[in-house]
Chains A and B, each alone.
Chain A
Amino acid sequence: MSSLRFETADSAATRPAGGSAAGPSVSSHAYLVVRGLTRRFGAFTALDRIDLEVRRGEFVCFLGPSGCGKTTLLRAIAGLDRQDEGRIEIGGRDVSHAPPADRDFGIVFQSYALFPNLTVNDNVAYGLVNRRRPRAEIAARVKELLALVGLPDQGAKFPVQLSGGQQQRVALARALATSPGLLLLDEPLSALDARVRLHLREEIRALQNRLGVTTIMVTHDQEEALAMADRIVVMNHGVIEQVGTPEDIYRTPASAFVADFVGTMSFLDGKVSAPGEVRVGTRSLRVADGRAVATGYAARVGLRPEDVRVRGVRPDDENAFEAIIEDVEFLGAFCRARLVARDEPALALLADFSANLMRDVGVEVGKPLLVALPPESLRVFARSSPIAEEEAAS
């Protein structure tokens, strides 16, 4: 692979001095810097003062529901949609007002956007031909790229003769052909079948690892983001809710929104009655995570379904209580049960049980079950809007 000249970092003439990035390893120096980026469409604010840094060689996912601003942010970075305010630096160069052709990136769209009247070879060579390289050099490069994306013998075909997954690989090869410093992927997998999607996402990640090209991918699929990203940027309503590694995002979500959007979480509304203690209805729960809310304030406690303890629970364990199994949903590898505390209907949550456990413990609808909620698994969030509190009060 060393013959491939993916000089993503080193070839850029605009590289800031002293940044000798070595290979695919993630450099600590920010390659992409976004400061105070704002974009409005009429009265609607699509991006609200976004600050973000992406390190050289990093794979970052913008994750969020549709309309959260993730695609707008990507297009602003590419220069395809101009921001109203704010600053963008790529590789140390201020490109805030530069047109797309003057920024150093390759892009892949959900729709592939392959030129239908050109062969796969011509599509991949599209950006190379313009640089007036010798014909043989271009042909060799196209061959390398097609081999790289796993389509070594498909060069003479037209896009219409390829499957969706193959077309997206060609689009990827075309975007990488000019060795851009930044690779932008706009929901590249969303148009594909589930199985192809799974396969291609592993390949994209492996490719990115090998080439070390700084990559930003927009997705609304949390599983995709968790599986692929070095860091995830969770967005909602035009602001960044949280930036962190997949594990950070999943284990310690910064807000109820993130917790709910990434993975499944049960929420219990209550009030912080003492440091490390939240009152839900008539019951008190011990919580290890007390940072977010001061004593006396309304709080929302969250728990992942897989964190509900069932095995070997004793009645005097922390946060142990007897629950009734209201409903069990069969989900293949495991079952998801809806539990309600026998003496407190406000204490209702989901719990995931493996098939083994189902058998061992004898989970059955209507049966009581002793469960415990480990304090270190309980996340405490502020109950955000004052409106919500008013509603709760009335």
Chain B
Amino acid sequence: MSAVLQSSEDVLLPTRRVVTEQRVVAILVGLLCLALLVAIALPLWALLSKSFLNANGEFVGLANFARYFATPALVQSLINSVMVAGLATCIVVPLAFIYAYALTRSCIPAKGLFYALALLPIFAPSLLPALSFIYIFGNQGFLKDLLFGATIYGPIGIVMAQVFYCLPHATMILVAALALSDGRLYEAAAALGTTRWRVFLTVTLPGARYGVVSAAVVVFTLVVTDFGIPKVIGGQFAVLATDAYKQVVGQQNFSMGAVVGMVLLVPAVLAFFVEQILKRRQVALLSARAVPYSPRPERRRDTALLMFCVLVGGLVAGILGVAVWASFIKYWPYNLSLTLSNYDFAEFEPDGWQPYFNSLKMAALTALIGTPVIFLGAYLIEKVRSAVLGRFFAHFLAMLPMAVPGLVLGLGYVFFFNAPWNPLGALYGTIAVLALNSLAHFYTVAHITAVTALKQIDGEFESVSASLKVPFWTTLRRVTVPICMPSLLDIAVYLFVNAMTTVSAVIFLYGPGTKLASIAVVHMDEAGAIAAAAAMATCIVVTAIAVKLLHLLLDALLLSRLQRWRVRTG
């Protein structure tokens, strides 16, 4: 008997600490699931259920959908959205392809500069190019005559602004696709005496085709679900995104707003699945032994591509510049002298500068809370062995926002946090709910960044720690976090910049005293104070770019000082 007691004690005593370790994991995974449920799943559920209820909250099945498709004006918006998105996609993708081709497959100078130029629009809210095009082609625009009497307030303006807004996303995808190439294929083709055009058709294009499809899908979804551009420059031309706004904010018709939200969800969900399938196929394309392709100088090609890049990059910078410039103009187009009066926001907007500081606060909150939460979540999902079901569930929820446009998520938040039964309703209209919404909206990309960084770390670190009886949180603090520091910075900056520029989700969620800068842009534009709107948009751009520059500086500092161990010094 005593022997039995003895041995059971032996098992229990050293186990106690280990048990707490597993319990900590279980609690953390539970908390993560709960947070993701509240931030992502329940709002979506609220939207989904709302689309099947009438104004009195009674279940009506598909009646709302039937009414939607029986309303010609609403169906017209759907057609408009698809048309505009299709057109923008057909323009952006070839443009971005040539641009990316120049950056990866030619010997043009200043590639870094050109890449940065193409990425500039990321730091601006989508409202900004719309404002610029109003300045250029609008009723008082200096190039108005180029439109030959057509109006910029409508599909033309929307497509032009969308091209600007989507260019960085398509360029990034295509640069990645074109950079992944096996130089040996080109050597083999050259050895066989293949013409350049045929090499392009048989080697380059097939290698990049998944990138092309992926870029097209991403651009199409971005355009369909963007709210800022059609709101500012769309005029009477209705699209899905503006319909959702009108139904919910204008007419307080929540059921119909929910139906529009569900319709908006369709292209995004389709895009998500196309992406997943493509990603799976892309893997096998490049073997580990591939030799990277390095282009050789070629006068005529390089000159042509350089001119193209100068043109496109210049246009991007120019369009951004017009809004910035116009924000300093006294009275467009009659008095072009410079002034700071447009930055005196109190003249145009009851809250004055407050929206800008709200945006700063909200973006900082999103980055500061989001980064550790997302990273810890990714760590639990990727590196921990216990709590299998919980981790699987959390991973699913973390990937969900990718397929949900901001506008749809925003609608879900309205329905969820505004519901009378919800104790969290007190949060509605606060900075906290705005930050939570932004965090949820941009969760997936940040999550994937964290998971990718964690995957690159030796999978045996946790095993070694366990064998040395070191709890996982010690290894997380001493090893994993320091190694992932650059990725953590990436995530923080990504969250900050996006929270700073987003419009679509938060337009439904702000409350008295928590209006954001991007919403103030919409409001001032609506009120006709377009110069002030441009000024506020400029503030957003400058802040976002400043944060990015700070990031680059910190990164360099981190590498040279604190992360000495990365560099082989011999």
A interface residues (Cβ-Cβ under 8 A, vs B): 13-14, 78-80, 93-94, 98-102, 105-107, 109, 111, 113, 115-118, 126-127, 130-131, 158-161, 174-175, 177-178, 180, 184
CB-based contact B469/A160 at 8 Å = no
Report A-chain residues with C-beta under 8 Å of the C-beta of B7: 93-94
Q: Which of B232-240, B476-484, B540-548 contacts A (4 or more CB under 8 A)?
A: B476-484
Distance (whole angstroms) from the CB of A78 to the closest CB of chain B: 7
Q: A109-B463, A115-B479, A160-B568 are in contact. Are A127 and B18 (CB under 8 A)?
A: no
Report A-chain residues with C-beta under 8 Å of the C-beta of B564: 158
Distance (whole angstroms) from the CB of A303 to the closest CB of chain B: 40
Contact of B470 among A78, A94, A127, A158 (CB under 8 A): A127
The answer to whether B251 has its CB under 8 Å from any CB of chain A is: no
The answer to whether B344 has its CB under 8 Å from any CB of chain A is: no
Report A-chain residues with C-beta under 8 Å of the C-beta of B21: 99, 101
CB-based contact A117/B464 at 8 Å = no
The answer to whether B335 has its CB under 8 Å from any CB of chain A is: no
The answer to whether B565 has its CB under 8 Å from any CB of chain A is: yes
The answer to whether B358 has its CB under 8 Å from any CB of chain A is: no
Closest to A115 in B: B479
Question: Bound complex: CA of A44 vs CA of B541, how far in Å?
Answer: 57
Q: A113-B460, A115-B479, A117-B565 are in contact. Are A105 and B467 (CB under 8 A)?
A: yes
CB-based contact B482/A106 at 8 Å = no
CB-based contact A130/B469 at 8 Å = yes
Question: Bound complex: CA of A178 vs CA of B464, how far in Å?
Answer: 12
Q: Which of B9-17, B108-116, B142-150, B436-444 contacts A (4 or more CB under 8 A)?
A: B9-17
Closest to B564 in A: A158
Report B-chain residues with C-beta under 8 Å of the C-beta of A105: 467
Question: Bound complex: CA of A14 vs CA of B12, how far in Å?
Answer: 12
CB<8 Å pairs between A and B, sample of 22: A14-B10, A78-B467, A80-B463, A80-B466, A93-B7, A98-B11, A99-B22, A100-B463, A101-B17, A101-B467, A105-B467, A106-B468, A109-B463, A109-B464, A113-B458, A113-B461, A115-B461, A117-B563, A126-B464, A130-B468, A130-B474, A158-B564
Distance (whole angstroms) from the CB of A55 to the closest CB of chain B: 21
CB-based contact A102/B15 at 8 Å = yes
CB-based contact B568/A178 at 8 Å = no
CB-based contact A101/B469 at 8 Å = yes
Distance (whole angstroms) from the CB of B131 to the closest CB of chain A: 46
Contact of A160 among B11, B464, B566 (CB under 8 A): B566
CB-based A-B contact count at 8 angstroms:
97
The answer to whether B570 has its CB under 8 Å from any CB of chain A is: yes
The answer to whether B569 has its CB under 8 Å from any CB of chain A is: yes
Chain B, interface SS category = helix
Closest to B469 in A: A101
Contact of B466 among A101, A159, A175, A180 (CB under 8 A): A101
CB-based contact B15/A98 at 8 Å = yes
3 smallest beta-carbon distances between A and B, as pairs: A127-B468, A100-B466, A113-B460
Contact of B463 among A93, A107, A117 (CB under 8 A): A107
The answer to whether B567 has its CB under 8 Å from any CB of chain A is: yes
Report B-chain residues with C-beta under 8 Å of the C-beta of A98: 11, 15, 18
Report A-chain residues with C-beta under 8 Å of the C-beta of B483: 116-117
CB-based contact A107/B467 at 8 Å = yes
Interface string of B1-39 (1 = CB under 8 A from A): 000000100110011011001100000000000000000
CB-based contact B568/A93 at 8 Å = no
What size tier do the contact residues of chain B reach?
Answer: 20 to 34
Contact of A99 among B460, B466, B565, B566 (CB under 8 A): B466
Q: Which one of B21, B461, B564 has the greatest number of beta carbons of chain A within 10 Å?
A: B461
Distance (whole angstroms) from the CB of A120 to the closest CB of chain B: 11
Question: Bound complex: CA of A126 vs CA of B482, how far in Å?
Answer: 15
Contact of B570 among A106, A113, A127, A161 (CB under 8 A): A161
CB-based contact B10/A93 at 8 Å = yes
Which B residues between 413 and 466 are near A, CB-CB below 8 angstroms?
Answer: 458, 460-461, 463-466
Question: Bound complex: CA of A117 vs CA of B457, how far in Å?
Answer: 12
Contact of A161 among B458, B470, B478, B569 (CB under 8 A): B569
Report A-chain residues with C-beta under 8 Å of the C-beta of B11: 93-94, 98
Contact of A174 among B464, B469, B567, B570 (CB under 8 A): B464
Distance (whole angstroms) from the CB of B161 to the closest CB of chain A: 45
Contact of B479 among A100, A117, A184 (CB under 8 A): A117
CB-based contact A117/B467 at 8 Å = no
Q: Contacts A99-B466, A101-B21, A118-B478 known; list 17 others, CB within 8 Å.
A: A79-B466, A99-B22, A100-B463, A101-B17, A101-B471, A109-B464, A111-B458, A113-B461, A115-B478, A118-B479, A126-B470, A127-B467, A130-B468, A160-B565, A160-B568, A178-B468, A178-B469
Q: A109-B460, A109-B463, A113-B461 are in contact. Are A160 and B468 (CB under 8 A)?
A: no
Distance (whole angstroms) from the CB of A217 to the closest CB of chain B: 15
Contact of B10 among A13, A158, A160 (CB under 8 A): A13
Q: A101-B18, A111-B460 are in contact. Are A117 and B468 (CB under 8 A)?
A: no
CB-based contact B567/A160 at 8 Å = yes
Report A-chain residues with C-beta under 8 Å of the C-beta of B474: 130
Report A-chain residues with C-beta under 8 Å of the C-beta of B565: 116-118, 158-160
Question: Bound complex: CA of A161 vs CA of B566, how far in Å?
Answer: 9
Closest to A93 in B: B10
Report B-chain residues with C-beta under 8 Å of the C-beta of A177: 468
Report B-chain residues with C-beta under 8 Å of the C-beta of A159: 565
Report B-chain residues with C-beta under 8 Å of the C-beta of A158: 564-565
Q: Which one of B466, B478, B567 has the greatest number of beta carbons of chain A within 10 Å?
A: B466
Question: Bound complex: CA of A358 vs CA of B181, how far in Å?
Answer: 53
Q: Which one of B464, B471, B570 has the greatest number of beta carbons of chain A within 10 Å?
A: B464
Closest to B460 in A: A113
Question: Bound complex: CA of A159 vs CA of B10, how far in Å?
Answer: 37
Closest to B13 in A: A13
CB-based contact B10/A174 at 8 Å = no
Report A-chain residues with C-beta under 8 Å of the C-beta of B22: 99
Q: Which one of B460, B474, B478, B570 has the greatest number of beta carbons of chain A within 10 Å?
A: B460
CB-based contact A113/B568 at 8 Å = no
Distance (whole angstroms) from the CB of B382 to the closest CB of chain A: 16
Closest to B567 in A: A160
Distance (whole angstroms) from the CB of A173 to the closest CB of chain B: 12
Closest to A112 in B: B458
Which B residues between 189 and 209 are near A, CB-CB below 8 angstroms?
Answer: none
Contact of A126 among B10, B458, B468 (CB under 8 A): B468
CB-based contact A174/B468 at 8 Å = yes
Question: Bound complex: CA of A184 vs CA of B483, how far in Å?
Answer: 26
Contact of A127 among B15, B17, B463, B469 (CB under 8 A): B469
CB-based contact B464/A102 at 8 Å = no
Question: Bound complex: CA of A122 vs CA of B7, how far in Å?
Answer: 35
Contact of B464 among A79, A113, A131 (CB under 8 A): A113
Closest to A82 in B: B385
